[in-house]
Amino acid sequence: MFTTMQQPNLPSSRLTGFHRLSLAERQTIVHDWASQTSRHWDETSRQDLFGPPNGLDLQTADQLIENTIGRFALPLGIATNFRINGRDRLIPMITEEPSVIAGASNAARLMRLAGGITASSDPPLMIGQVQLLDVPQMKRAMAALNEKKAAILAAANEALGSLAQRGGGAREIELRQLSHAKIGPMLVVHLLVDCQDAMGANAINTALERIAPSLAEISKGRVVLRILSNLNDRRLARARAQINADAFSHSSVDGPPILQRVYEAAALAEIDPYRAATHNKGILNGIDAVVLATGNDWRAVEAGAHAYAARTGNYRSLSTWQVDEYGNLMGSLELPLALGIVGGSTRAHPGAKAALALLDVQSASELAEIVASVGLAQNFAALLALAGEGIQHGHMRLHARQIALSAGASDEMVGQIAAVMIAENDIRPSRAAELMKSMTSAGDHS
Ligand code: MEV
């Protein structure tokens, strides 16, 4: 699947100087932008996305989970400059980590110079597993299950109700005989379900529980687990992009051109799990931030990403990078992305609903393509910093504000303390505390 949403006359997501504006000015720009670009954005979206609890009142919070006692807020930012499959996007991202949104926006800026990001996705097929033990005759059980396949799929579709009526539903069963478990041999039945625009966990688990008794009867075995797999390797999303060598007229670092160094840095993650884990964490910095903003299950995405990264038996990077003869850099990323735009908290959480309205996505696949694109951009941003002047330079500048805040600085003091620490190139909690003390006592005497 390849989702292109080209629309004429849309405003650009290339928002020069966005980060220098006040928070209120940014909100106005995003509101105006979304009003022109999204079919779903309205006044309620504006209030829910920008308001302090993101529309999540305590009563709704109490409905979402059990034992609710409050809500927990995190910063919501906007990554600018993204062009994905020919369409400009402003991306809502929730993260507590400085540099993530700035890095993604800068990478998207560089990628759009070479035409932007191209993304695609598989149909939204989820895998569910039924574990059968004590199967007396494996071969016979497998043959019988294959023979009854149509009836099993029909029963699953009956359980899936409206999903099946809307064109989704159970598509296939696959049988896996596993003989190396410490509890003896077992038969695992995979049910493949097209979950359409839902993440699909509830749908698939419902279908599995419905068909499990028949699977036990047909195989003459005993059912234990009935649960989806988070290794969604039938629901992959991909993104690729180029960064042109001429985007870098000068390099602040001696040695080979910066894009060559990015390529060299990325090569380590292809062979070394110690590096691959960090490399993939950088990708997930971007991915999780959008997954969280849109009310999706980021633990499922994390589990799927890491399992997919280890699919060959060696844990490796989810992305690959190449340089061509002209020094241009090409990157691609592929990972499972089980995301929904209906169901779960995507609609029940007003803030998530508003984030989806900002994105104006029409399908879960389109959302997955955007999320994969952000992952690729985030990966490039990290590699660019690492291969250039190092991650700490830019990171610590942004981090200085957090350090000032955690030292107890007031809103008015945060900027001043951060500026002094940056100028001194001494960004530490103890220095923030000293500066705060001297500023407070200077204030006391004035
Ligand atoms: C930090 O949150 C993420 C990075 O470590 C990713 C990477 O090393 O590629 C910078």
CATH architecture of 393-444: Orthogonal Bundle (1.10)
Give pLDDT tens digits for 172-183. 999 999 998 999
**Angle formed by the axes of helices 350-359 and 273-293, nearest 10°:** 100
As a whole number of Å, the CA-based R_g of the chain is 25
Cα 165 from chain centroid (whole Å): 29
pLDDT (0 to 100) of residue 43: 94
Ligand 1 center–CA 241 separation, angstroms:
19
Ligand 1 center–CA 284 separation, angstroms:
9
The finding on whether 278 has its CB within 6 A of some atom of ligand 1 is yes
The label of the residue with tokens 């997930």 reads: 284
Give the pair of three-digit tokens for residue 86.
Answer: 């020919």
The dotted CATH code for 125-228 is 3.30.70.420
Distance CA 114, CA 241 (A): 8
**Angle formed by the axes of helices 364-387 and 273-293, nearest 10°:** 130
Let me know if the fold of 18-122+235-388 is the same as that of 125-228: no
The finding on whether 285 has its CB within 6 A of some atom of ligand 1 is yes
How many Cβ atoms are within 10 Å of 33's Cβ, its own excluded?
Answer: 21
- Which pTM was predicted? 0.90
Give pLDDT tens digits for 388-436. 877 777 667 777 888 888 888 887 888 889 889 888 888 889 999 999 8
- Which candidate, 220, 245, 413, places its Cα nearest to that of 329? 245
Asked whether residue 115 carries a pLDDT value surpassing 80, the answer given is: yes
The finding on whether 428 has its CB within 6 A of some atom of ligand 1 is no
The finding on whether 382 has its CB within 6 A of some atom of ligand 1 is yes
Asked whether residue 29 carries a pLDDT value surpassing 50, the answer given is: yes
Residue whose CA is closest, atom 3 of ligand 1?
282
Instruction: State the average pLDDT over residues 235-251.
Output: 91
Give pLDDT tens digits for 284-318. 999 999 999 999 999 999 999 999 999 999 999 99
Domain ranges across the chain: 18-122+235-388, 125-228, 393-444
Q: Which of 93, 302, 391 to mutate to test the pocket of ligand 1 (most atoms within 8 A of CB)?
A: 391
Instruction: Give me the residues paired with residue 238 across strands.
Output: 120, 334
**Class at the top of the CATH hierarchy for domain 18-122+235-388:** alpha beta
What are the catalytic residues?
Answer: 97, 281, 297, 395
pLDDT (0 to 100) of residue 443: 63
Instruction: State the average pLDDT over residues 338-344.
Output: 92
Distance CA 167, CA 183 (A): 39
Q: Which of 264, 274, 279, 402 to mutate to test the pocket of ligand 1 (most atoms within 8 A of CB)?
A: 279
Strand order in the sheet with 169-178: 169-178, 186-194, 125-133, 222-228
Q: Which atom of ligand 1 is nearest to the CA of 275?
A: 8
